[in-house]
Structure formats: structure tokens, C-alpha cells
Structure 1
Amino acid sequence: MSEPRVRRATVADVAAVVELRALMFSAMGVPGVDDPDWRAAATEWFGRELCGPHVCVVVADDREGRVVAGAMGALRLETPSPVNPNGVWGLVNNVATRPEARRQGLARACVVGVLDWLRDETAASVFERFATGEGAGLYEELGFVRTAWPAMRLRLDR
């Protein structure tokens, strides 16, 4: 393979997609990245959802054909509102690039692929992305704007 290739992930890519997700969490300082339970659950989830209508993962292969970057789009269905009259939201997440493949535009290409899927193949009318400080510039260049309401979270121990 001569040039990096950007494509939609398939079920054959599940392990690589989970590893990119772990890399993202590690870069964010999220504890528990090495816990095998979440990895097993994520592997099962991607295996089930990856080829369905509500999820799209776009990956970039390096010259040797290894997955080195990726981004995910998912749909979230909510009650229609003034902000989103049809209630279908697109969430762009799971954006990560292996260290040796950074600064080549691969993450950007994967995000653009996800945005194309959201625009062309879904009913989503508003797209969201929760970005780290390092990644915020990329999303602003792609048209994302900061919102007035920061995210808040309540975790239930189950």
C-alpha cells in the first residue's frame, strides 16, 4: 500500500477501533483504561453496532495497512426542540490517532468521513462534539461552535 487510506471500518476492525478508543481515553487521563471489562464490552458493542444504521466509524490505514486513526459518528434520538426540530442528533466522538501517525491529517480525514455519513445518510440536523483543548481547533475549522452550556454528568454505580 503506497498512501494512507481512509475508509469505513468493518467488523474486522473492531479490535483496532477498541485500541484507538483506549488510546483516546489514555490521552484524556481517564482512569481504568487497562480494565479488560470495558474493553470486552466495547468489543461486543462495536461488533453488534458497527454495521448498523446508527453508528459509523471511519478509519485510516497506514502504508502497511494497519489502522492508525479513526473517528466515530453515532445518532442520538431526542424530543424535538427549538435547537433541533427533528430531534435527531449526530455525535462525533472516539477521535484518535496513534502517535506515530499524527500530524498527517488522518484524524481530520476520518472526522470529515463521519460528517459526510451524518449529512448524507442520516436525518441528523445538529452535530455535536465534546473536544479536548488540543482538538478544539480542528472542530472549529470544520464549522463546530462552542455552546453556552457545558456538559454535566451524574454517574450511577450499577
Structure 2
Amino acid sequence: MTPRRATPDDAAGLTQLRLIMHQAVKPHCGLDWMPACEAAFARALAEQESMAVFVVDHPDGPGLIASAMGVWHPSLPGPTTTAMRSGEIGSVATDPDHRRRGHARACVAAARDWLVDEGCERVRLTPAPDATALYAALGFAPRDTYWTWRAAPVDTAP
């Protein structure tokens, strides 16, 4: 299985995989965010040069079974890098019926390789506790602890 780069036509399948990812952490997460997510995926995949999503198609027909998204953003050179871009990998998900077959590994590797080709010397991700071995095998290692600020949640209900 070789991942391919997602297109705007994959937005619904990517949103379904994001639901799987979120439900693994919060089983009863709502669904009201999904239309906005699908629209955002379709728009970003059509317009953003700084984002690429890699997917594995369902072997028996339409649909997706795994994904990983790579995003780069401008950065400044410093003591440890001269790169003008930094990368991040997220939205890593695999359909539960297709886990433990290397699909996530292949998608993450494809996203990482794309980010490197785009000029990133550093790629960050936030692993789920049960995925640290996967990321370590791909060359990722724990580094700086960082904090995150979040605005109050937006009510997306109609």
C-alpha cells in the first residue's frame, strides 16, 4: 500500500477519519463540527500550498482507511536550524478495522517526506500515548515541552 496525496474530493472521508481520531480520546464527542471540518478540508486541499494530506484508499471500494496531514509554516533561522519553514504532522488516523497493517506509518512517512521536500528541517507532532513507538521508529523523538493557549470553544450548532 502506497499512500497518495488527498484531493478536495477526499474531504468527507478525511472528516470521517478525524471523527475516529477524536472518538478515540472522547467517545461521545459531538458531530456538529463535521460539516465545517469537511468544508475546511475541501477548501484547504484546493487552495493551500502549505498543507498536504496523505491517505490510503479502502482496498475494497470507495472510502479512506488512513490519513496523516502535513502543514508547514514560515520560521526564522536560529542556532539549531537555518530553515525558513517548520512542519507539523496531525490528523493521523486509521480506521479500526485496518489497524496494525502499516497504513498510519506509511501516511506519516509520506507527510514527513513531503515536509522535508518543502524545506522543513524540523517536524513536530503530538503523539497519542499508544503511538510513541510508531513515531520513534520513524525518527521522531521527544523534545521541548510546549504550552498551548485556546480560545473559548465556538458553538457550531445550527
TM-score bracket for this pair, using the shorter chain length: 0.7 to 0.9
**Are 1:103 and 2:88 matched, yes or no?**
no
**What amino acid is the match of 2:5?**
R
Any unmatched runs of 5+ in structure 2?
none
> 1:118: how far off?
1.1
Correspondence 1:8-27 to 2 at 5 A: 8-27=5-24
**How many Å apart are 1:5 and its aligned residue?**
5.0
Rounded to whole Å, the distance in 2 between the matches of 1:69 and 1:15 is 13
SS at match of 2:140: coil
Q: CA–CA distance in 1 between the matches of 2:150 and 2:70? A: 23
Aligned 8 A contact 1:5 1:61 in 2: no
Give the structure 1 partner of residue 123 of structure 2.
127
Deviation at 1:35, TM superposition (A): 3.5
Query: RMSD of the alignment, in Å?
Result: 1.9
User: How far apart, CA to CA, are the structure 2 residues paired with 1:124 and 1:30?
Assistant: 34
**Alignment of structure 1 residues 7-156 onto 2, 5 Å:** 7-29=4-26, 33-36=29-32, 38-51=33-46, 52-65=48-61, 66-120=63-117, 122-147=118-143, 149-156=144-151
Query: Shift of the alpha carbon at 1:74?
Result: 0.5
Give the Cα–Cα distance (whole angstroms) in 2 for the partners of residues 92 and 30 of structure 1: 23
Consecutive unaligned residues of structure 1, counting only runs of 5 or more, are: none
What is the CA-CA distance between 1:30 and the residue it aligns to?
7.7
- Measured in 2, the distance between the counterparts of 1:30 and 1:56 equals 27
Deviation at 1:153, TM superposition (A): 1.9
- After the TM superposition, which segments of 4 or more aligned residues of structure 1 sit over 3 Å from their partners? none
Q: What is the rounded CA distance, in whole Å, between the counterparts of 1:81 and 1:130 in structure 2?
A: 23
TM-score, length-normalised on structure 2? Answer: 0.86
Q: How high is the TM-score relative to the length of structure 1? A: 0.86
